[in-house]
Amino acid sequence: MAKKIKSPYKQRLKYRETHNTTLRRVYEYSTTKYRTRRATQFVDGGQAYTYGSFKDAVERLSQRMSRYGISASDKVAILSQNMPNYLVAYFSVTAFGRVLVPILPDSSENEVTNILTHSETKAVFVSKKLLPKLSQACQDRMTLVIDIETFEFIKKNKEDFQCDGWVKDPAPDDLATIIYTSGTTGRAKGVMLSHRNICHNLVASFKAQPCFKKDRFLSILPIAHTYEMGVSSIYSFYVGACVYYLQKPAAPSVLLPALKKVRPTIMLSVPLVIEKVIKNSVFPTIQKSRVLSWMEKHMPHILHRIIGGRIVKTFGGKLRFFGIGGAKMDPVVEQFLKDCHFPYSVGYGLTETSPLVCNVLVNKRKRVGSIGVATWKVEIRLDNMNPDTGEGEIVCRGDNVMLGYYKDPERTMSVLDDDGWFHTNDIASMDSDGYYYIKGRLNNTILGPSGENIYPEEIEQVINNIEGVDESLVMERDGHLVALVKFDDNVLDWNQASEDQFFETLEARKKAVLEWVNKAVGKNSKIGEVDAMKEPFEKTATQKIRRFLYKERRGDEPSGSGAEKPVNESGAEAGGTADGEQAGKQA
């Protein structure tokens, strides 16, 4: 039997997959093959680069750093909001053997200082907007401080102008980046990702959702986060597409015109973004319309087709992939998106896994609540599985798993075993077809009075679907479950907190939540108390609540900010203290 010959197209894909094992090779491949195509720009056209001009800018920038002795293996940080020049800086570091330290733009000055100190960074790219977060002491320690918007030197040490910086073609297992993340549980961790880790994720992304040079990516999440960087910005570069950036935060007044102008085919988001669109706009529109309400009861399929088309049109009309990850998605919203045939897909991963671990293909049958199946060439198993519930901790192994935590061997050994299995701390179950379902975080799990596991995330989903609730957090306090609830501003006006009517409304809302939840959940998951939050919860870059900040806090008590304490039903100040550990303090 004659051997089947691969098509030229499949041969090119296979070559790209096997050849691009480092960011240097990705950079050289794309800037050569797609030289005349548009690589990146602002939505309004600023900082526009073709792949050819992009390469010229990267080469010049790398040479300038070398003149000041910034060599391979040296750490170079980026503190900036999203922009095309971020990618130029990224490749001027990683493609030449240097190590990138991206810093989230919402980091505090103290967190920035700790990250730069702990990572031993020698140079930093910084935007004008975020320059005030770079303390004078940090600037003094730097060899170079570079304005990322113009690539002009804000600060340079003349004595370091020796032209002795050396670069190298990095090997797949060389360190490419250190990404600091506090997650939702406290002390920041410096996750070390190799070139192999990142390039594996690029291939896995293509296997999960193939993208091509004619695709248009619109970036709305922080590039400094591995989710946006690995599955959007660098992925678009890998396939020769163009990625567009916003010059302002993605508020509706900024995002809607951008969607109309770019008409993106690919976008990434966190659940909170799409959930707000559906809950605050689509659901109320249906409820207020007699026609749409009637259709929802009698002709749901037609209604869903109409609404789905309108949502896609709102996103520019050309959307073919809307990736959702970073946190657990509301199953009510997901079911609605599925019914509307919206081209969404759910994924799961961590910074430590570069990030993809699981994914669901857009054109595959979706299962509401599932994070999908194991991604390309990643092994998954459930550890310490409960035989009664089928629940266990997700552990994974593959080329996606990090090298370890920077200068933190003890923490590394606590999550990575000798056989290369990474322990995610996430509890999940698996169905007969290999689809995984997240139940909650292992360190968030509450042990019930009979020894059963209680997952606060599942109770929070019930609370968040109550009308008038914006977000919530469930924890154990004094032997019973307590729900901290942030009500929508339009149902609870804290500016009227001094009026009797406010307390009547507050108590009525809290009572309604308590009764609704305790009817909807099982016996062991019933809550005993509801506290109202005045301000939104503090969150990570992927909009997950920083739980450790609220372990002992009651209501809207600030974490050392000096703001007013919340009031309870009698008008007195509520007590309690915040968890003393703060993200990044011990980086």
pLDDT (tens digit per residue) in 497-514: 777 788 888 888 899 999
Q: Say whether both 427 and 475 belong to one domain.
A: no
Q: Which of 99-113, 354-368, 405-419, 444-458 has the lowest mean pLDDT?
A: 444-458
Cβ-Cβ contacts under 8 Å for 393 (sequence gap 6 or more): 382, 383, 384, 423, 424, 425, 426, 427, 428, 442
pLDDT tens, position by position, 142-166: 999 999 999 999 999 888 898 899 9
Q: Say whether both 456 and 430 belong to one domain.
A: no
pLDDT for 4: 66
pLDDT for 1: 55
Strands (E), 350-411: 356-359, 373-374, 378-383, 392-398, 404-405
- Asked whether the beta carbons of 374 and 357 are under 8 A apart, the reply is yes
Residue 261, in any domain of the structure = no
Q: What CATH number does the domain containing 537 carry?
A: 3.30.300.30
Q: What CATH number does the domain containing 282 carry?
A: 3.40.50.12780
Q: Say whether both 77 and 141 belong to one domain.
A: yes
Residue 253, in any domain of the structure = no
Of 442 and 69, the structure prediction assigns the larger pLDDT to: 69
Is pLDDT at 378 greater than 70 in this prediction? yes
Residue 52, in any domain of the structure = yes
Q: Say whether both 149 and 53 belong to one domain.
A: yes
Residue 87, in any domain of the structure = yes
- Asked whether the beta carbons of 338 and 355 are under 8 A apart, the reply is no
Residue 324, both tokens: 């959702």
Of 430 and 570, the structure prediction assigns the larger pLDDT to: 430
pLDDT for 355: 94
Residue 133, in any domain of the structure = yes
Residue 512, in any domain of the structure = yes
Task: Supply the pTM of this predicted model.
Answer: 0.82
Element (H, E) at 19: helix 8-19
pLDDT for 2: 58
Q: Say whether both 347 and 462 belong to one domain.
A: no
pLDDT tens, position by position, 213-224: 999 999 999 999
Q: Say whether both 15 and 72 belong to one domain.
A: yes
Domain that holds residue 330: 270-396+419-441
Residue 141, both tokens: 């320690």
The DSSP bridge partners found for residue 243 are: 40, 217
- Asked whether the beta carbons of 103 and 177 are under 8 A apart, the reply is no
Last residue of a domain, one of 406, 441, 476: 441
Q: Say whether both 457 and 437 belong to one domain.
A: no
Q: Say whether both 491 and 346 belong to one domain.
A: no
Q: Say whether both 150 and 280 belong to one domain.
A: no
Residue 576, in any domain of the structure = no
pLDDT tens, position by position, 242-275: 999 999 988 889 999 999 999 999 999 988 889 8
Residue 505, in any domain of the structure = yes
pLDDT for 290: 92
Q: Say whether both 460 and 331 belong to one domain.
A: no
Q: Say whether both 192 and 77 belong to one domain.
A: yes
- Asked whether the beta carbons of 329 and 544 are under 8 A apart, the reply is no
Q: Which of 84-98, 151-165, 268-282, 543-557 has the lowest mean pLDDT?
A: 543-557
373-374 vs 356-359, strand pairing mode: antiparallel
Cβ-Cβ contacts under 8 Å for 368 (sequence gap 6 or more): 331, 334, 335, 338
In the chain, % of residues over pLDDT 70? 91
Q: Which residue's entry shows tokens 């997959």?
A: 17
Q: Say whether both 24 and 162 belong to one domain.
A: yes
Q: Which amino acid is present at 33? A: K
Is pLDDT at 41 greater than 50 in this prediction? yes
- Burial bucket for residue 364 (CB in 10 Å: 0-12, 13-18, 19+): exposed
CB atoms within 10 A of CB 87: 25
Mean pLDDT along residues 95-99: 98
pLDDT for 86: 98
DSSP annotation of 474 reads E
pLDDT for 584: 31
Mean pLDDT score of the chain: 88
The DSSP bridge partners found for residue 186 are: none
Q: Which residue's entry shows tokens 């005030």?
A: 132
Domain count, the chain: 3
